[in-house]
Amino acid sequence: MPVMITARPRRVREPDGAVRVVADVEGAEPLWFSVESEYEALLAERADHVAVALLLPAMRYGRDLRIGGVVTDVLLHRLNHDVQGLVRAVDPGFRAIEVTAEETAPAGPPASGVVTGFSGGVDSFATLAEYATGSAVPPDLRITHLINNNVGAHGDGGRALWRVRYDALRPVADELGLPFIPVDSNIDAHYPQMGFMETVTFRNAAVVHLLGGGIGRSYHASEGTYRNIRMPPPHGDIGLAGAITFPLLSTPALTLESTSSAQSRIERTLALVGSPYADHLDVCIDWDPHRLVNCSHCWKCMRTMLTLEIAGHLDEFVPHVFQRAPYEARRAAYYVEIMASDEPNDTELVEFGDQRGWHWGSGTRARAAAVRARRSMLDTARRVRRSIRSTMRGSR
């Protein structure tokens, strides 16, 4: 099996003073992460972040992974066993590989820092409410740092959109009195033909390991309530299994954990009603770096706005957070989408509307049933074609 080989990570000072941690990758462009100079003390000396960042690309292309530098022994063991088992259960197209390191070492003592990613979305605000602004949080669990990562979530908007979103959220961090660390990277360049949602857990976990010199615990907002935690469908969103994945990517020195699963997405959304930070809510997937408010017609905006409207609070978010006209233009079609969906958060939203006596419109359920039927027929046809191709390959 071919091998993906990386060099020991090194630090490079950028012209603006930022610190770039670079790991050369044989046959590919170097993998790098960058932080502002004031946060250099948080950087880890080990190469754990490189191993986490490159595991999925190596598995996707069937290449053993050889990491230069020191990798924590516990992490290396898990990357060779349960982590790969989980990845291949989600997507059998990933291949089993061997991960080795130039050196291994036991974990040292955990650092005192506690970090969470802050994107301005519903889920990240829920984590802040529990672990940053909550009054009963034990000191060892209280958030000490916020991070905002450029690891591929901003699509065509790229680095420009990331910086705009980061700058828009700085007032929240300032009011909370928390350092807000922007972490830039080129990790997305190492994930060709791999979707962001299918790989997001590993991208963000790599950043936390990068900061392991000063961070001993990290919170990653879950995508839904405990009843929705499950193995993703084939080629699906690995974030659905976050409560399983993050512990496997932890070490005795760095605990990664999924948070807020005690609350449904609806409860997290409604918790923002009356919040002093609600004006900074950013759920939108629109890649335009020049937009001033949420687009109000993408699926994330629609879900959030419908939740607020059913609860009778949408007017409190219009027009400074959302716009009503784009939402209302798409609302009827969106009803059909969520009624035809098997996604747990969509199902919860329909149940919430039914409980509140929401009027979905004449014929909506029938149209949704027709969409489900067509989808089922297409899925059946795809399974039959895969079965025939598999049989033909086996008979050769």
Is residue 174 domain-resident?
A: yes
pTM attached to this predicted model? 0.90
Is residue 365 domain-resident?
A: yes
Question: Is there a single domain that holds both residue 176 and residue 143?
Answer: yes
Share of the chain above pLDDT 70, in %: 94
pLDDT tens column, 37-62:
999 999 999 999 999 999 999 999 99
Is residue 85 domain-resident?
A: yes
Question: Is there a single domain that holds both residue 128 and residue 222?
Answer: yes
Domain boundary among 72, 105, 138: 105
Q: Which of 6, 65, 59 is nearest to 30 (CA)?
A: 6
More confident residue, 158 or 110: 110
What local confidence, expressed as pLDDT, does residue 260 receive?
Answer: 85
pLDDT tens column, 226-265:
776 666 666 556 666 778 899 999 999 999 999 988 899 9
Is residue 273 domain-resident?
A: no
Report, as an integer, the average pLDDT of 343-355: 94
What local confidence, expressed as pLDDT, does residue 231 receive?
Answer: 63
Which of 184-188, 198-202, 380-384 is the least confident region?
380-384
More confident residue, 225 or 349: 349
Q: pLDDT class for 154, splitting at 50, 70, 90?
A: confident
Average pLDDT across the chain, whole number: 92
Question: Is there a single domain that holds both residue 7 and residue 134?
Answer: no
More confident residue, 378 or 162: 162
Question: Is there a single domain that holds both residue 129 and residue 255?
Answer: yes
pLDDT tens column, 11-24:
999 999 999 999 99
**3-state percent breakdown (helix, strand, coil) of the chain, nearest 5:** 45, 15, 35
Question: Is there a single domain that holds both residue 236 and residue 188?
Answer: yes
Q: Which of 330, 266, 272 is nearest to 298 (CA)?
A: 330
What local confidence, expressed as pLDDT, does residue 289 receive?
Answer: 84
pLDDT tens column, 279-325:
999 999 998 888 889 999 999 999 999 999 999 999 999 999 999 99
User: Residues 283, 105: contact at Cβ < 8 Å?
Assistant: no
For every residue of 268-305, DSSP letters joined together read HHHTTTT-TTGGG--------TT-SS--S-SHHHHHHH
Question: Is there a single domain that holds both residue 92 and residue 118?
Answer: no
Q: Which domain holds residue 78?
A: 3-105
Question: Is there a single domain that holds both residue 147 and residue 13?
Answer: no
Is residue 213 domain-resident?
A: yes
Question: Is there a single domain that holds both residue 204 and residue 333?
Answer: no
Question: Is there a single domain that holds both residue 394 and residue 288?
Answer: yes
Is residue 351 domain-resident?
A: yes
